[in-house]
Amino acid sequence: MSKTYGTVNYLSSFGFTEPWRKQCIQEINWQKGGRGYDLMSGMGETWGIIQQQKALHLIGLDISPEMNARARTKIKEHPHWNIHIGISNF
């Protein structure tokens, strides 16, 4: 599923997923230097928007090793992001 997740997610939401995520993230009262958790973080789709809000330490948790691998690729592309990934079945 991880190989087609982004495309299927976009198509099944008629493109509303990205604006909805951005709106939700902008509603959060982020504390500079604080800590945030992204549960079911998937491929880290929200991390760019979160990092634009405030400098904070973000912990992404997902059950899927494949999705975490894709998220790690995103972190390597943005080494200045303070993000750590964990595998959890919460």
For residues 28 and 77, the model is more confident at 77
Q: What is the rounded distance in angstroms from the CA atom of residue 68 to the CA atom of residue 5?
A: 13
SS3 category, 62: strand
pTM above 0.85, yes or no: no
Instruction: Give pLDDT tens digits for 7-64.
Output: 666 667 677 778 888 888 888 888 878 888 889 888 898 898 888 876 688 899 999 8
CATH code assigned at 29: 3.40.50.150
Average pLDDT over residues 52-77: 87
Work out the angle at residue 12's Cα, subtended by the Cα atoms of residues 11 and 17, and round it to the nearest 5 degrees.
Answer: 80
The CA-atom distances, in angstroms, between 39 and each of 11, 14, 46, 88 are: 22, 23, 11, 9
For 51, the domain range is 5-87
The one-letter amino acid code at 32 reads K
The total number of structural domains that make up the chain = 1
